[in-house]
Structure 1
Amino acid sequence: MSYQALYRVWRPQKFEDIAGQQAITKTLRNAIVQDKTSHAYLFTGPRGTGKTSAAKIFAKAINCPNVKEGEPCNDCEICQSISQGKLGDVIEIDAASNNGVEEIRDIRDKANYAPTQAEYKVYIIDEVHMLSMGAFNALLKTLEEPPANVIFILATTEPHKIPLTIISRTQRFDFRRISPQDIVSRMKYILTQKSVEFEEDALTTISKAAEGGMRDALSILDQALSFSEGKLKTEDAMRITGSITQDLLSEYIRAVYTRETEKGLNILHELIAEGKDPSRFVEDIILFSRDVLLYQTAQSDILLKMGKADDKFIQLSTEVDSILLYEVIKIFNQTQQEMRLSNHAEVYLEVATVRLTQPTNPYLKKEEIKKQPEVEEVSSAELSDLKKQLADMQRLIQNISGSEESAKAAPSKPKRSKSSLVFKVNRPSVYKVLEKATKNDLAQLKDVWPDLMNVLEASQKAIMNTSTPVAASPQGLVVTFDYDILCERATNDTLLLNTIGEYLEKVIGHRAELISVPAEQWPVIRQEFIKRMKEEPGDPSDVHSENTSPQEEKEETEPIVSEAFKIFGEQIVKVED
């Protein structure tokens, strides 16, 4: 095959050819010039940022007899052999397929031999994080006490997977993502050398799609050149990368700003019909909104990632409120999370569009809020009704106050107190369980209680979470709760009681009726039962009738008081003017 991909043909051959890594290349050049090279290096960073290329250039520069200012000449026999991969003293190893202990031991043994042609023997281990732990341990001894004239260069995209004992014995260089400007400059140079016409916006589109990787950018450029006919156009780059034009993004933001739901949905459906990736649309909208927001603040196009500061962009930034942009970023960020778990991404995009274009959104412009007096106006008829209701309530309050004073004057009618709202224990049922309760039944119940909690549903578990079995008989069990409201819910939840009964019948062989008791009342009830059993060893179930106080009996209330309870609640309060 005669044709070679662009990223192979235009692979950097000098440090100055590596785009966007000036700090790293300068450090390596100075180390060579000053003869301060290390025995081991670690190159980390995203894919396509120049790690392996820098390693090969370093191997050439340190062995080149004609090195000048830290740069290899690329003309001597050593440089030519390394560029063609034929020099035996520069060994490039893929750790993904050679990750065992035996391979690393072989490297360690051969490293003891002196180089044959070059001055230094250089081992370049790519994707070093793929090595096994045994292989790392085998490599550790060599890095700790390296042979003379041997240099190891480790390259990886995932440095967190490398043991710290390895990292601490190397000089680490972190390759950063290449900026779009550097990627565009490199592509311009390549296309100029190839005498290919191009539109600069096309290169900008490719650089954004590459996401900081030069190799990815050159691969996309290769596709775009194959698709185009003589000249690289922006439309071609858009189709290859699946990008969305800035005009469409501006139109969508404007539709959201003017709350034109139909227009926003039409733009969305048009993009989906063209085969655009919904996830890519979400990312583009977020980045474009970010660009508009930053341009509103800084009035500079240096920080822009998606947008180009043309007339339409500047006009949009002056019109759109920043609150809207915050809302767009927030909602589309939520949409992006939801789309990852669904096969219907377009549905979430439609919902996000409707949410943003609804007139009740909190990002309404101040001028529009001022133009909506009808929201705050109240009709005269509604005002009359409100006044009438207020008068009725005032009369009702006066009646309640009179009823309260009457209740104080007449002790024969006890007022409703807070104690009447406390959960009322079914004492006869509790006494019936206590009469036949045994320690064995309680111990058996406590053993299965944690397993019972795991069987319950989440809502049922929330009720029973603070429950504690305190007494048990073959026919029933008494359970205490920390709060009265939980007692009431447990008592009234038929499904919960059935679930507990069926589980106990399955596990311990008999069905037991659950009786709820507040934890603070349990000691009193237990002492009452013991006392009654000593005094009347007969039937303790009739203790309830003797023990019931007048306050616990259900009282009859006047109609006006009943109506007040419906409106204001059962707690009587004193109203002061």
Structure 2
Amino acid sequence: MAYQALYRVWRSQRFDDVVGQQAITQTLKNAIIQKQISHAYLFTGPRGTGKTSAAKILAKAVNCPHSQDGEPCNECEMCRSITAGTQEDVIEIDAASNNGVEEIRFIRDRANYAPTQATYKVYIVDEVHMLSTGAFNALLKTLEEPRKNVIFILATTEPHKIPATIISRTQRFDFKRIRTEDIMAHLAHILNENQIGYEEQALQVIARAAEGGMRDALSILDQAISFSDGTITLQNAMEVTGSLTFEMMDQFIGNCQTHNVSGALTMLEEMLASGKEARRLLENLLVYCRDLLIYQQAPQLLLEKAGHVTDAFQTLAKETSVAQLYQWIDILNATQNDVRFTTNPTIYLEVATVKLASSPAQATPTTTAEPIASDDVQQLKKEVQALRQELQQLKQNGVAATPQEVRPTPKRKAQTSSYRVPKERVFSVLQEATKQDLVNVKMVWDDLLASLSATQKAMLRASEPKAASSKGLVIAFDYEIICQRAANDSEFSAAVQNNLSRMIQNYGPDPIFITADSWPELRKEFLSGNHEVEPTEVFEEDEEITLIPEDDDRVVTKAQELFGELIQIEEN
């Protein structure tokens, strides 16, 4: 007999076999026992959670002549034929490939005839949300006027695409994602039945990678069995799922905790080079930070779930503040959203790594004040009593207490930026900037990135050249923290300057670092001043640049020579 995948061999055949959906299966069993069977059911939920399996079990249970406690016997001819898919009165339809009006009309016409062998004629429509509008209308007529002994079971992963008129005529059951613990228990049962050895941590990795779907878990387990040498180890599970090992995560987060940017970036390159997928990597790091947080607050709870933790993990949990963990989780979560919509996730991962390893933990506000010593309290009471006596004497002597003018305490201005932009140096570059110099820099920009070290490359990837002259180059960074780091790193500035001089003949500009947010204001201030040359971002064609006319036409002439059609001249 040909090999069958685990998810087919171990497909649930009884309601009690359906993992993680006890509320739904018990409700269906009770309905069968009490003979309160509806004419239409809607099973919704994520993939691999048991919707189609429950539908076939329901079809067997209502037609099995030896049904007990709402469960099919799975031994009679009726049960075996439904399991094998040969029973004519139980029809499975894939709505993805049979979504037209004619197919549904054919089903509706066949539903008018009584079942030939079974007690109920059952139609199981999988992925019902794929039906066309006309097909839904045709199905609606059948659900409005149900025939006797006909049951429709509709299954879908996207219930929001089903018309409300259909949903209102069905009994809806929402299948939930299966818990990691339940998946692990089921996988362990299967391996024990097949006499295959395993490590419990390996099952945990597989269960987490399945994301609540039993079918996905069984497919991954199938791969792990083929990959292993008789015993499924943690390393096997890590390789098959593309997950990070505990040592990798310990080392990466450890570098971030000690602000070792170079070490964190090197570790990131190693993880990506070993074939780790960006989205899986981010998910593993998020779970790791979550585990650190839980271990700090409730260590026993995490130990019950994870089984064990490494020594490096325990050290990180002791040395990392809660505020730092919150900040890391926010950074990783934002990066996870960004990576979803990009074709080059490496850039986002490198920028996130620099932010993780560079950002100091923000102090969390607290409302708890330090306790005041009892001696201090007694001293304050004495001083208050002395002031009261003095005030009483003044009143007796006829001196009225005049309230002094209360001056409002000046409010501090909120500090929006800690990086001081070198405005004068930027203006000196803009004064002599040319379009050709900027074009030359942008032409070799990718080569410049390739020539830098991993740390320097990650810093420069989050930047863009804005203006260039024969002696200077203005580079704008997307993030202030990276801009600050670049400005304080003399080796980084020297590397940029030296590599540019090697790539562009007779050109070795002094790099000047600014934030991307400050660039529009700097350019506006420069354009409004009395400068002979007025530069612009020559490669941003969607942005119109308005030059301020002056009496001397040299400004306009020079600007047209530099930027051509990329400028717009307005006369007031």
Q: TM-score, normalised by structure 1?
A: 0.62
Cα offsets for 1:106-165 (capped at 9, x unmatched): 111111111111111110000000100001000101101100000000000000000000
Structure 1 83/341 Cα, relative in aligned 2: closer, same or farther at 3 Å? Answer: closer
Distance in 2 (CA, whole Å) between partners of 1:513 and 1:213 is: 62
Q: CA deviation at 1:293?
A: 1.5
The amino acid across from 2:360 in the alignment is N
Q: How does 1:308-323 map to 2 (within 5 A)?
A: 309=309, 312-323=312-323
SS in 2 for 1:124: strand
The amino acid across from 1:361 in the alignment is P
Structure 1 253/21 Cα, relative in aligned 2: closer, same or farther at 3 Å? Answer: same
Q: Which runs of 5+ in 1 are unaligned?
A: 367-458, 464-488, 499-511, 516-577
The amino acid across from 1:255 in the alignment is N
Number of the residue aligned with 2:55? 55
Q: CA deviation at 1:216?
A: 0.7
Number of the residue aligned with 1:297? 297
Distance in 2 (CA, whole Å) between partners of 1:134 and 1:177 is: 32
Number of the residue aligned with 2:548? 492
Number of the residue aligned with 2:235? 235
Distance in 2 (CA, whole Å) between partners of 1:491 and 1:264 is: 46
Number of the residue aligned with 1:70? 70
Q: Which has the larger radius of gyration?
A: 1
Distance in 1 (CA, whole Å) between partners of 2:51 and 2:342 is: 37
Distance in 2 (CA, whole Å) between partners of 1:60 and 1:120 is: 10
Cα offsets for 1:312-339 (capped at 9, x unmatched): 5444322211111111112222333343
**Is residue 152 of structure 2 the alignment partner of residue 152 of structure 1?**
yes
Task: Tell whether the 8 Å contact from 1:291 to 1:306 is kept in structure 2 after alignment.
Answer: no
Task: Tell whether the 8 Å contact from 2:295 to 2:302 is kept in structure 1 after alignment.
Answer: no
Q: CA deviation at 1:357?
A: 2.1
Number of the residue aligned with 1:10? 10
Q: CA deviation at 1:68?
A: 1.0
Structure 1 76/341 Cα, relative in aligned 2: closer, same or farther at 3 Å? Answer: closer
The amino acid across from 2:72 in the alignment is P
Count of residues in correspondence between the two structures:
382
**Is residue 96 of structure 2 the alignment partner of residue 96 of structure 1?**
yes
SS in 1 for 2:301: coil
Q: CA deviation at 1:282?
A: 1.3
| Comparing 3-12 and 348-357, the one that deviates more | 348-357
Number of the residue aligned with 1:87? 87
Distance in 2 (CA, whole Å) between partners of 1:7 and 1:491 is: 68
Distance in 2 (CA, whole Å) between partners of 1:304 and 1:49 is: 25
The alignment yields a C-alpha RMSD, in angstroms, of 2.9
Task: Tell whether the 8 Å contact from 1:288 to 1:306 is kept in structure 2 after alignment.
Answer: no
Structure 1 40/164 Cα, relative in aligned 2: closer, same or farther at 3 Å? Answer: same
The amino acid across from 1:217 in the alignment is A
The amino acid across from 2:94 in the alignment is D
Task: Tell whether the 8 Å contact from 1:355 to 1:361 is kept in structure 2 after alignment.
Answer: no
Structure 1 307/166 Cα, relative in aligned 2: closer, same or farther at 3 Å? Answer: farther
Distance in 2 (CA, whole Å) between partners of 1:301 and 1:493 is: 71
SS in 1 for 2:122: strand
Q: TM-score, normalised by structure 2?
A: 0.62
Distance in 1 (CA, whole Å) between partners of 2:313 and 2:22 is: 32
Q: CA deviation at 1:52?
A: 0.2
Distance in 1 (CA, whole Å) between partners of 2:265 and 2:317 is: 22
Task: Tell whether the 8 Å contact from 1:291 to 1:303 is kept in structure 2 after alignment.
Answer: no
Number of the residue aligned with 1:361? 360
Q: How does 1:77-226 map to 2 (within 5 A)?
A: 77-226=77-226
Distance in 2 (CA, whole Å) between partners of 1:221 and 1:117 is: 39
Structure 1 365/135 Cα, relative in aligned 2: closer, same or farther at 3 Å? Answer: closer
Q: Which runs of 5+ in 2 are unaligned?
A: 366-519, 525-544, 557-568
The amino acid across from 1:90 in the alignment is V
Q: CA deviation at 1:245?
A: 1.3
SS in 1 for 2:172: strand
SS in 2 for 1:301: helix
Q: CA deviation at 1:513?
A: 8.3
Distance in 1 (CA, whole Å) between partners of 2:105 and 2:303 is: 49
Number of the residue aligned with 2:448? none
Structure 1 69/340 Cα, relative in aligned 2: closer, same or farther at 3 Å? Answer: closer
Distance in 1 (CA, whole Å) between partners of 2:15 and 2:306 is: 30
Distance in 2 (CA, whole Å) between partners of 1:490 and 1:188 is: 70
The amino acid across from 2:190 in the alignment is I
